[in-house]
């Protein structure tokens, strides 16, 4: 049976339990998409802050990454197609 290596000090224990009662009481809604947002923080859903686009969201980065991968694959396929066409001539 696993046993803790060291005693958890009063300080460490109380710091942990201090965070258990935390409640986000000041949630507001994003001006652009309406999702709940912490105050003074960028909306993670749409990347807007006070109605201004500030960051790219994770889904947007994923989309761009997939786009660049697709174009690379298409360019690679096109280059391979060009080689046999030139050899036929
Ligand atoms: Zn938003």
| pLDDT (mean) for 9-22 | 89
CA of 24 to the centre of ligand 1 (A): 18
Give per-residue pLDDT as tens, 22-54: 777 788 899 999 999 988 999 999 999 998 999
User: Nearest to residue 57, comparing CAs of 65, 45, 69, 39?
Assistant: 45
CA of 45 to the centre of ligand 1 (A): 5
CA of 21 to the centre of ligand 1 (A): 27
pLDDT band at 2 (very low <50, low <70, confident <90, very high): very high
Give per-residue pLDDT as tens, 52-63: 999 999 999 999
For residue 75, the model assigns a pLDDT of: 86
Helix (H) or strand (E) holding 86: helix 58-88
pLDDT band at 11 (very low <50, low <70, confident <90, very high): very high
CA of 88 to the centre of ligand 1 (A): 55
């Amino acid at each position: 049976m696993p046993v803790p290596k060291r005693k958890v000090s009063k300080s460490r224990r109380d710091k942990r339990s201090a965070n258990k009662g935390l409640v986000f009481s000041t949630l507001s809604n994003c001006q652009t998409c309406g999702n709940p947002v912490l105050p003074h923080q960028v909306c993670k859903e749409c990347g807007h802050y006070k109605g201004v686009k500030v960051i790219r969201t994770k889904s947007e980065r994923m989309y761009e990454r997939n786009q660049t991968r697709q174009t690379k694959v298409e360019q690679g396929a096109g280059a391979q197609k060009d080689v046999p066409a030139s050899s036929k001539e």
